[in-house]
A and B are shown apart, each in its own frame.
Chain A
Amino acid sequence: MRERRARAWERFAVAPMPGQKDEAWRYSRVGDLDLGSFAPAVLAPRAEEHADLVSAARDLARSLGPCRALAVTVPGGVIAVELPGGTGEQLRVAGSRSAEDLPVGLGSIAGLSGIFGELHDAFLGEVLTISVPPGTVLDAPVVVVNIAGTPPGKDDLGRLASFPRTFVELGAGASATVVEVALDAAEGVIIETPQGRATTLRASGEGQHMRTATPGASSTSSASLVVPVTELDVGERARLSYVSVQALGRESWQIATQASRVATGGEIISYSAGLGGLYARVSTLCSLDGEGARSTLLAAYLGTGEQVHDFETVQDHRAPSSASELVFDGAVADRARSAYNGLIRIRRGAHGADAFQTNHNLVLSEGAHADSIPNLQIEENDVRCSHASTVGPVDEEQRFYLESRGVEPAEAERLVVAGFFREAARRAPLSGVGRWVEEEMAARLEAGRRVTGGG
């Protein structure tokens, strides 16, 4: 492990920082990232020091519905693995630090490269492996809460960078749902209830009944850098639902990779919600390796204030009769920006492949901006491919329709926007997550409007 990290560090040291001339980073904010201002967590975290975070993560998991297993990570590693759904041979959820414990396929799916890939590998602390044996069907999701940044009361550690690594493997015929939530420790909130105080990590903090757990924290000290990598290995005829909710603080940086590989007859449904971050990049890379492999890749995102959301997707068809469908829907308000750069690649031999890609962007303020760039690379005949993208304000026809029924213009716009988010949020393969994301988006949009006095 040490050697692996050392080699990565050497490569990192000579790797160039991407710039805006680099097509893949053209719309990013990466030029403003001061890597030197963040410190990696050097020591493995001690679970007993983070009991409150674990308890909060437990509450969060519970709010999403039944939970088969819960894992909690902080910068440096895993602090808790719990199996409320019972132990047993059929499911393994564990952190590993030593080379002999690492999953065999680690790194074979994400194929990390570039400066952030090397950085991730150089500071990789602990790998969380979720292993579902062949034929096992999990009746409830495995929830992973990745807590970024410096926990309250640990300010002496500086602005922490974290490098969460999750490896999910489903054996042949297995079926499971995995939920990953990314939150900032400093954004943790306390809900005041009539029954007393309950700590929670619900990351909004904008409702009037909530207040931040660290009221004194300046925006600078609450900033974190997260470079998470998740690899999803879907075996033959296996079915994985993967849900990722990014609800980091508004000052934080995220450069995430979510890579999946689907074997013959397997299926993945992945859903990614982008809510937080000053700059949040997600690369969704899906490789359909086996005949008849299928993927449904979904995302919903909302940027307000100065946020930038940056998405890169690859639907890589490597096998015959593989099918992929991608729907990324988002909105930008205030001065927020979003970028979508998506590639459908049909390799030679992937005849009968069927690929679909769509990206819709609602632009809700004049100062906001969205870019959408679809790409096709087709090396095989006899395939079906389509892509569509839109960038624009609330549809005039929809607004007219509602107004023609007697709905006032401002309310008509509010309904259309809320409907857009509802549709995007509720595609989540877990209804609890869909509701959470929908509420979170409505609250964030409302909060942004209060601040800017718009709407």
Chain B
Amino acid sequence: MSDHVLVLEGLRVSVAGTEVLRGVDLTVRSGEVHALMGPNGSGKSTLAHVLMGKGGYEVTAGAVTLDGADLLAMGTWERAAAGLFLAMQQPVEVPGVGLAQVLEATGRDTSNLAGEAQDLGLDGAIIDRSLNVDLSGGEKKRSETLQLAMLRPSIAVLDEVDTGLDVDGLRLVAGRLRRAVEEWGMGVLAITHFRRLLSVLRPDAVHVLLGGRVVESGGAELAEKLEQSGYEVYAGAAGT
């Protein structure tokens, strides 16, 4: 088992002058699965984007380190090279650029690409087709998972990797992700609305993000509780 760690300390982020994250602390280690849940607009996707270095966000305070290195000082591709992966909620279409081509551009061995694709129920033709073009929502998520499986990140942020998937797709994707945790000790920060993904991923911790802050953390049972009670119980907890 490898020993990697992603640490967020007091992370505050603004978008166009409005503070979206108001001091987030999280630590994700190799082999750990953390679920991040919360209502729409709570800042989950902002967090995912900021971790990967997407433009348009301003970090106003706090720090993020990956294995002790200052993640926020790195360019996006350097974060990926350092072992971080973001499975995107809405993977963008890149016409004329194939999945195999991208993996080759990162210098990865692509010899088992076809086999990995098959394990995720993807047609082998996806390897050379334009990235995310003419793919269904579910196929896009399988493609994200396929890229994760090939890149073997030390820490993976999954931004609603379960949306758009049908029951079979969810089973294959969640199963592959869980195997990644076991195979190479991948650490996971999974943003999700649904417990179905978590029942396979088996989170070590569940965090509730509300109003840009983690308002509660607990074990897997917290996800179950949220599904029954919703987020209303936290009304007022987020503050301003």
Contacts and interface: CB of A to CB of B under 8 A. Distances in A.
A418 to B, nearest CB: 7
A404 B92 CA distance: 12
Contacts of A396: 55
Interface string B131-172: 100000000000000010001000000000000000000000
Interface in A317-339: none
Contacts of A403: 75-77, 80
B94 A416 contact: yes
A407 B96 contact: no
A83 interface: no
Given A402-B97, A423-B130, A407 B102 contact: yes
Nearest to A419: B96
A420 interface: yes
8 contacts: A400-B76, A403-B76, A403-B80, A406-B80, A406-B81, A406-B106, A415-B97, A423-B95
Contacts of A420: 95-96
B106 A407 contact: yes
Interface residues of A, number: 24
Nearest to B55: A396
B198 interface: no
Interface in A392-432: 395-398, 400-409, 411-412, 415-416, 418-423
A416 B105 CA distance: 12
A405 to B, nearest CB: 5
Contacts, number: 76
Contacts of B105: 402, 407-408, 411-412, 415
Interface in B76-105: 76-77, 79-81, 85-86, 88, 91-97, 101-103, 105
A407 B105 CA distance: 6
Given A405-B102, A405-B147, A423-B130, A400 B95 contact: no
Interface in B104-118: 105-106
A298 to B, nearest CB: 14
A359 to B, nearest CB: 15
B52 interface: yes
Given A412-B105, A415-B97, 5 more contacts: A396-B55, A404-B79, A404-B86, A418-B96, A423-B95
B196 interface: no
Contacts of A395: 92
Nearest to A414: B105
Given A400-B54, A400-B76, A423-B130, A405 B95 contact: no
Nearest to B148: A405
A419 B95 contact: yes
B102 A415 contact: yes
A402 B92 CA distance: 10
A401 B77 contact: no
B97 A416 contact: yes
Interface in B18-37: none
A401 B92 contact: yes
Contacts of B76: 400, 403-404
A366 B36 CA distance: 42
A418 B92 CA distance: 17
Contacts of B96: 418-423
B106 A404 contact: no
Contact of B88 (A401, A409, A412, A416): A401
A401 B95 CA distance: 12
A455 B55 CA distance: 21
B86 to A, nearest CB: 5
Given A401-B91, A406-B151, A420-B96, A412 B55 contact: no
A402 B54 contact: no
A182 B79 CA distance: 48
Nearest to B91: A401
Contacts of A401: 88, 91-92, 94, 131
A402 B151 contact: no
Contacts of B91: 401
Contacts of B131: 401
Contacts of B54: 400
A421 to B, nearest CB: 7
A407 B97 CA distance: 13
A415 B105 CA distance: 9
A412 B85 CA distance: 16
Contacts of A411: 105
Q: Name the 6 nearest CB pairs between A and B, nearest first.
A: A419-B96, A406-B80, A422-B96, A419-B97, A403-B76, A406-B106
Contacts of B93: 398
Contacts of B79: 404
A404 B80 contact: yes
Contacts of B81: 406
